[in-house]
């Protein structure tokens, strides 16, 4: 009896120990060793973000100061004024490029999530000929960067006769092999009993996908949405290769060309301001969806 009580107490202490490590709402001395590792990593991670923000508000003399200053001693909006003055000299308003980027990014996110989730559902729930071969091909596709497939993409866009249209922005960015892999791994964690019970109740495959699979993989969908947003929002490749008419090009491409007609000194401030404008939506979206992203990291290794 005494030995049984000691074992119970040992298990309770062990559970309390591990519970304290994974519960961020409470503090336990066992967390100190993790904090000693995570705090320096946090500092290294957040420094580039702070630099981007501070750099955009530096006056020109601090932008070219040597040795370089991390933070600015005198914040100014001159860089943003120079940016908007440069945009005012062109025949196309800044809002047009912004509209193009928002439209293209929204379309890519929606269509990419739809296609990636359907592909992941097929790999996770359906049996068909060539399933393993197609999934291997998806894994190989992860290794290729955009520039490696620029020529095939150009040939496809030309063959489809959609160059110089919004579809030339959207279609090349729809394939997300990483998204398919991540969503498939999450769907495989869904108990098969749920889908089998739904089939017995008369549900078809589309209903299982819509009402069972999709609600249970929201964390993974949020993570894929962030990756897709970063790909589409920061993209300049499609505007460079597939678009001729200036009113159809996107904001990142437009910002990259603004410095061509300005002096090297002024262009440094314009680049700093433009980099902050492009960066802000990325961090805002991540803050909004960070809870789902953390859930993705927490459950990605569970079966």
Query: For the chain, what is the HEC assignment?
Result: CHHHHHHHHHHHHHHHHHHHHHCCCCCCHHHHHHHHHHHHHHHHHHHHHHHHHHHHCCCHHHHCCCCCCCCCCCCCCHHHHHHHHHHHCCCCCHHHHHHHHHHHHHHHHHHHHHHHHHHHHHHHHCCCCCHHHHHHHHHHHCCCCHHHHHHHHHHHHHHHCCCCCHHHHHHHHCCCHHHHHHHHHHHCCCCHHHHHHHHHCCCCHHHHHHHHHHHHCHHHHHHHHHHHHHHHHCCCHHHHHCCCCHHHCCHHHHHHHHHHHCCHHHHHHHHHHHHHHHHHHHHHHHHHHHHHHHHHHHHCCCC
The pLDDT score that the predictor gives to residue 263 is 52
pLDDT digits (tens, 9 = 90+) for 213-251: 888 888 889 889 998 999 999 998 888 889 888 889 998
Instruction: Pull the structure tokens for residue 248.
Output: 């159809």
pLDDT tens column, 167-177: 999 999 998 89
Chain centre distance of CA 191: 28
pLDDT at 298 exceeding the cut of 60: no
Contact 79, 270 (CB under 8 A): yes
pLDDT tens-digit readout, 85-100: 777 777 788 888 889 9
| pLDDT tens-digit series, residues 245-295 | 888 999 898 888 876 555 555 577 788 888 888 888 888 888 887 776 665
Q: Name the segment(s) of the chain with CATH classification 1.10.3720.10.
A: 81-299
Q: What is the pTM of this model?
A: 0.78
Q: What would the pLDDT profile of 112-126 be if each residue is shown by its tens digit?
A: 999 999 999 999 888
Give CA 295 to chain center in angstroms. Answer: 15
The answer to whether 168 and 247 have CB atoms below 8 angstroms apart is: no
* Range in 43-52, 60-69, 95-104, 108-117 with the lowest mean pLDDT: 60-69
Signed CA dihedral, 245, 248, 250, 254: sign only: positive
CATH topology of domain 81-299: MetI-like fold (1.10.3720)
pLDDT band at 17 (very low <50, low <70, confident <90, very high): very low
pLDDT at 15: 47
What would the two tokens of residue 176 be?
């997300």
């Amino acid at each position: 009896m005494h030995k049984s009580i000691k074992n119970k107490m040992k298990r309770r202490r062990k559970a309390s120990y591990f519970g304290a490590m994974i519960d961020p709402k409470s503090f336990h001395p066992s967390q100190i060793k993790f904090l000693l590792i995570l705090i320096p990593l946090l500092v290294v991670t957040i420094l580039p973000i702070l630099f981007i923000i501070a750099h955009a508000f530096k006056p020109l003399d601090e932008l070219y100061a040597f040795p370089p200053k991390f933070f600015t001693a005198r914040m100014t909006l001159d860089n943003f004024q120079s940016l908007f003055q440069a945009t005012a000299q062109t025949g196309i308003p800044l809002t047009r490029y912004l509209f193009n980027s928002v439209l293209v990014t929204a379309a890519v996110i929606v269509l990419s999530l739809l296609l990636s989730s359907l592909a992941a559902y097929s790999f996770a729930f359906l049996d068909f000929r060539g399933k393993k071969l197609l999934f291997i091909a998806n894994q190989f596709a992860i290794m290729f960067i955009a520039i490696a497939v620029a020529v095939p993409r150009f040939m496809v866009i030309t063959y489809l006769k959609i160059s110089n249209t919004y579809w030339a922005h959207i279609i090349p960015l729809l394939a997300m092999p990483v998204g398919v892999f991540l969503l498939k791994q999450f769907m495989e964690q869904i108990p098969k009993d749920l889908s089998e019970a739904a089939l017995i109740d008369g549900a078809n495959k589309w209903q299982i996908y819509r009402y069972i699979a999709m609600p249970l993989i929201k964390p993974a969908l949020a993570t894929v949405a962030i990756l897709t947003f970063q790909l589409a929002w920061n993209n300049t490749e499609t505007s460079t290769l597939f678009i001729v008419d200036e009113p159809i090009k996107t904001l990142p491409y437009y910002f990259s060309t603004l410095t061509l007609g300005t002096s090297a000194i002024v262009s440094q401030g314009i680049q700093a301001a433009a980099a902050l404008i492009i960066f802000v939506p990325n961090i805002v979206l991540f803050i909004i969806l960070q809870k789902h992203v953390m859930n993705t990291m927490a459950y990605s290794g569970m079966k």
